[in-house]
A and B are shown apart, each in its own frame.
Chain A
Amino acid sequence: EIVLTQSPATLSLSPGDRATLSCRASQSVSSYLAWYQQKPGQAPRLLIHEAYKRATGIPARFSGSGSGTDFTLTISSLEPEDFAIYYCQQRSNWPRFTFGPGTKVDV
Chain B
Amino acid sequence: EVQLLESGGGFVQPGGSLRLSCVASGFPFQNYAVNWVRQAPGKGLDWVSTINAADTSYYADSVKGRFTISRDNSKNTLYLQMNSLRAEDTAMYFCARDGIVDDGCDIWGQGTMVTVSS
Contact = CB atoms under 8 A, between A and B. Distances in A.
Interface string B86-118: 000000001010110111111011110000000
Interface bin, chain A: 20 to 34
Contact of A89 (B58, B101, B104): B104
A87 interface: yes
B50 interface: yes
A55 B104 contact: yes
Given A46-B104, A56-B101, A101 B44 contact: yes
A70 interface: no
A49 B45 contact: no
Given A95-B52, A99-B46, A43 B110 contact: yes
B104 A99 contact: no
B21 interface: no
A56 B103 contact: no
Given A56-B101, A95-B33, A95-B58, A46 B47 contact: no
A45 interface: yes
A55 B106 contact: yes
Given A87-B45, A95-B47, A99-B44, A49 B60 contact: no
Interface of B: 33, 35, 44-47, 50, 52, 58, 60, 94, 96, 98-99, 101-106, 108-111
